[in-house]
Structure 1
Amino acid sequence: MIIYPTIELMGGKCVSLTRGRLSEPSIWHVDPVETARGFAQAGASWMHVTDLDGVAGSDHDNGPLIEEIIRAAGIPVQLGGGFRARERVEQWIDKGAGRVVIGTAAIRDPSLVLELAKYHPDQIVLAIDIFQGQLMTHGWQEASAMRPEDVLSAFDGAPLAGVIVTDIDSDIMDGDGQIGVIAGLADHTRHPVIARGTVRGPDDVSRLNYVPGIAGTIIGRALFSRDVTLEDALKLARPDTGAKAEFI
């Protein structure tokens, strides 16, 4: 299982959100570029960056900072945050992003995402965000009438790098239940599934390692709050030949 240590940027600062609320960020007083270097030094093979100003459509431009992170990290960067146009996706691939994450555009214009995946195989990641069982779009603000399972099926033949599944309720609800939601969706796709929002401590990493279909996890808040160290998470995520857990 791949651990994706994560930086979420808002106004040039590292932040974390509670239940996807863009209006209530927790601010971490650390340097984003040095944090990225630290992820690589700890042994991470990938890292994830979310441009929350891009998600919100804010006027603040994190672009120069993200470029600096990509140059400084020394490991591939998976980048998300308001990617709804072909030009912006291709711009960031040209700037060195290892992967680009697309959520709302995949619901609004699936043909665009299918074409991007065709021309940039294994560099496009589909994002599925769930709140109380509903598929959410536009920065977790709007509920879609589509079922998450149907969206996954629509992209099953595309050469995606993976699918990120976020259960936005996971900040306050039972961890096993949230893993169950993500594991259930993993049954509907052939693509590697990356869980987001389920890790609060070392035990959560251990549990995810035994869930079939989950190939990685994105960890942000738990690292910044020091509820788990990246070194420990990487050790716990090493391949294991033991039995896999089942969720009903």
Structure 2
Amino acid sequence: MILYPAIDLKDGQAVRLVQGEMERVTVFNDDPAAQARNFVEAGCEWLHLVDLNGAFAGEPVNAASVEAILAATDVPAQLGGGIRDMKTIETWLAKGLARVILGTVAVEKPDLVREAARAFPGRIAVGIDAREGRVATRGWAEETDVLATDLARSFEDAGVAAIIYTDILRDGAMKGPNVDATAHLARAVSIPVIASGGVSSLDDLVALRDCGVALDGAISGRALYDGALDLAAALATLRGGT
């Protein structure tokens, strides 16, 4: 199981939100590229990037920070936030991202997800962000009646590389991930699932790893910045299987 350190970008800084609320923000690093280098030096195999401003604006906002991270590191990175048309997808992949994450458009323009997955095999992921099982879009600001499992199943034959499942109520709250909901989603589809939201300790990672269904990975942010989760130790545990 891969551990994806998260770098959430707001106004050019590496930050963390609580439950996706932009006013509940903590700035952890004024230099996102330096933060990315720190994660890579600790041994991470992937980076998870989010353009928070872009998620609300519907277009890339923190492009300069993302490009600086790509220039400063040599591990694959995935990015979500404000990616809502084919041109933006193509642009980001051409700039060196390994994978882009489509969230809002997975609900509003599912055909775009399918088109992109065909055009860029292995490089398109779907972000499913949910409150109490129902999907939220546009930076988590808009609620829908779409069930997370139904949305995931709708892309079963689309060829997407992964589903990033975030329990919004757990995100940034340091209360642990929703292991049951994540496992339920992973059992519902054959698409690799990455857990997100609330991963705040080594025990959380082990619980996800041992949840009874194979997960592709887990994303952690605030715990890595606060020191509640040591990245090197977490990576060693996941690699060692103990």
Match of 2:13 in 1: 13
- Partner of residue 236, structure 1: 237
Match runs of 1:47-196 below 5 Å? 47-57=47-57, 61-171=61-171, 172=173, 175=176, 178-196=178-196
Partners of 1:59 and 1:213 lie apart in 2 by 33
Total equivalences in the alignment: 240
Query: Any runs of at least 4 consecutive aligned residues in structure 1 with deviations exceeding 2 A, and if so which?
Result: 58-61, 171-176
TM-score by length of 2: 0.93
Distance in 2 between residues matched to 1:95 and 1:214, nearest whole Å: 28
Residues 156 and 12 (structure 1), Cα distance of their counterparts in 2 relative to 1, 3 Å cut: same
Give the match's secondary structure for 2:165. strand
Q: CA deviation at 1:161?
A: 1.4
Using the TM superposition, give the Cα deviation of residue 167 of structure 1 relative to its aligned residue in structure 2, in angstroms.
0.4
Q: Look up the equivalent residue of 2:238 and give its one-letter code.
A: A
SS at match of 2:205: helix
The one-letter code of the counterpart of 1:158 is A
Does the 8 Å CA contact 2:174/2:222 hold for their aligned counterparts?
no
**Structure 2: unaligned runs, 5 residues or longer:** none
Q: Which residue of 2 aligns with 1:246?
A: none
The DSSP-based 3-state class of the residue aligned with 1:96 is coil
Separation in 2 of the partners of 1:161 and 1:58?
A: 22
Deviations 1:17-71 (A, max 9, x none): 1011122211113521111112111111111110101012189931122111011
Q: CA RMSD in A?
A: 1.8
Q: TM-score, normalising length from structure 1?
A: 0.91
Deviation of 1:127 after TM superposition, in Å, equals 0.6
Q: Which amino acid is 2:82 matched to?
A: G
User: How many percent identity over aligned positions?
Assistant: 37
One-letter amino acid of the structure 1 residue matched with residue 98 of structure 2: G
Amino acid at match of 1:237: L
